[in-house]
């Protein structure tokens, strides 16, 4: 088995760690001897039962797991110190385990992989996970043209140029990168692998609730989620259907979420806000009627967004209510008729989206179309095959022509 190293600043116990890291590694571990470096938040590290279960699962799969402590503060100093330690740790593991490939998820790990790769000669994958500098600007956490912004963009460009392969979540982001970095992207190997879901777990329920349960999955306080749109849509839906329930499944602070969505308390008990363990997310979705997600569409940052929640929602046979300008979301919704797009907060626009949702939910084929879209666009199996093909190409473990043919099977 070929030794490889995978590193991410996400935690294995986080929902994204389970759905977008571990889900792929389960399949890859049968052919690769994987060392996994993650950064776990304190509240997750304190959960001895879940840490132990994750450790046992890694051991069962032959994955060597090295969980590190995620230190978010001081804001600028902490990532810098973390990066220095990561360089030391990754070089130690590469040399000690004889890794032939480094898979770096997101920007800081990619910068580390670039440095270690130059020191050791080991190739690395820059798994971009969207356009991070633009996301920070959209969220108001970074000022365009600032010293920090210029440093991050310089690192982005260097990683794109020196990576042995790049993974992009969307074709839109890939096109954007080719436009702004034509010389750096020329000849670069790029695999477009959108966010995928475990469709063996995210499956439609046998029945639907007696009354509407409109859900929203994941963080809504990120800065790039349109909380005002969500609040407006829930208020509109509540007025149109007095029996509807609104269910937010998030690890965000419930008090802050409620204050943002229902400051006057009009929704009351109809608005339910709670976190669930990653392994139980599918159970929540299976009890819902539709799901809502609004991002900062129209921003450059959104070109690279492939929402995990969309893959999981469609897998459970639910239509989505979303906005335009977010990766390939609108195209998938329009082409496959698996949701509705809210164009704005005017009364006529809200009514149009509501009427569209009513039409979808009255169509007995909607659930099947949602499931089919999930299988064809967001299949975990297709995504795992694409990563395996990329690994094989870079380690010389398979025919390169065959690997290239498998490079983008998860794209729509």
Report the 10 Å Cβ neighbour count for 368. 12
pLDDT band, very low/low/confident/very high, at 382 (cuts 50, 70, 90): confident
Confidence check: pLDDT of 400 > 80: no
User: Average pLDDT for residues 204-230, to the nearest whole number?
Assistant: 91
pLDDT band, very low/low/confident/very high, at 253 (cuts 50, 70, 90): very high
- Residue spans of the domains in the chain: they are 2-195+380-405, 213-376
d(CA 23, CA 365): 29
Q: Which residues contact 274 (CB under 8 A, 6 or more apart)?
A: 248, 249, 254
Confidence check: pLDDT of 246 > 90: yes
Quick check: do 2-195+380-405 and 213-376 share a fold?
yes
Confidence check: pLDDT of 408 > 50: no
Q: Which of 35, 152, 153 is nearest to 102 (CA)?
A: 35
Render pLDDT for 67-105 as a digit per residue (tens, 0 to 9): 999 887 777 677 778 889 999 999 999 999 999 999 999
Q: Which residues contact 85 (CB under 8 A, 6 or more apart)?
A: 68
Strands 271-274 and 245-249 turn out to be: parallel
Report the 10 Å Cβ neighbour count for 79. 16
H helices of 163-306, in order, are 171-180, 182-185, 227-240, 254-261, 281-286
pLDDT score of 208: 80
- Is the backbone of residue 69 left (phi > 0), alpha (psi -120 to 50) or beta? beta
Q: Is the pTM of this model over 0.75?
A: yes
CATH number corresponding to 2-195+380-405: 3.40.50.2000
Domain 213-376 in CATH 3.40.50.2000? The answer is yes
d(CA 82, CA 39): 10
């Amino acid at each position: 088995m070929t030794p490889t190293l995978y590193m991410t600043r996400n935690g294995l116990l986080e929902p994204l760690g389970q759905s977008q890291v571990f889900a792929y590694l389960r399949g890859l571990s049968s052919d690769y001897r994987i060392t996994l470096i993650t950064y776990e938040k304190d509240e997750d590290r304190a959960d001895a039962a879940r840490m132990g279960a994750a450790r046992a699962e890694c051991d069962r799969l032959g994955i060597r797991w090295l969980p590190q402590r995620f230190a978010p503060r001081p804001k600028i100093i902490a990532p810098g110190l973390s990066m220095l330690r990561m360089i030391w740790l990754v070089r130690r593991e590469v040399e000690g385990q004889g890794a032939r490939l480094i898979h770096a998820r997101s920007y800081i790990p990619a910068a580390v992989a670039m440095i270690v790769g130059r020191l050791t000669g080991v190739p690395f994958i820059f798994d971009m996970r969207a356009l991070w500098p633009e996301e920070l600007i959209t969220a108001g956490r970074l000022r365009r043209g600032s010293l920090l912004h210029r440093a991050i963009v310089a690192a982005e460009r260097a990683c794109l140029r020196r990576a042995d392969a790049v993974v992009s979540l969307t074709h839109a982001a890939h096109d954007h990168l080719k436009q702004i970095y034509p010389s750096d992207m020329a000849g670069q190997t790029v695999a477009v692998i959108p966010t995928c879901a475990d469709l063996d777990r995210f499956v439609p329920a046998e029945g639907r609730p007696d009354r509407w349960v409109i859900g929203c999955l994941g963080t809504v306080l990120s800065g790039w989620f349109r909380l005002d749109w969500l609040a407006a849509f829930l208020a509109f839906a509540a007025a149109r259907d007095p029996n509807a329930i609104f269910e937010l499944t998030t690890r965000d602070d419930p008090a802050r979420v409620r204050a943002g969505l229902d400051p006057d308390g009009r929704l009351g008990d109809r608005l339910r806000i709670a976190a669930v363990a990653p392994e139980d997310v599918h159970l929540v979705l299976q009890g819902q009627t539709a799901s809502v997600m609004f991002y900062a569409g129209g921003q450059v940052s959104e070109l690279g967004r492939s929402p995990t929640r969309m893959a999981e929602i469609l897998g459970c046979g639910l239509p989505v209510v979303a906005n335009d300008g977010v990766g390939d979301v609108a195209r998938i919704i329009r082409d496959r008729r698996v949701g509705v797009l809210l164009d704005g907060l005017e009364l006529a626009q809200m009514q149009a989206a509501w009427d569209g949702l009513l039409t979808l939910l009255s169509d007995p084929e909607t659930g099947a179309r949602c499931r089919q879209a999930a299988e064809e666009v967001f299949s975990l199996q297709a995504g795992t095959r694409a990563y395996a093909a990329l690994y094989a190409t870079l380690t010389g473990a398979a025919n390169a022509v065959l690997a290239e043919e498998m490079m983008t099977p998860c794209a729509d």
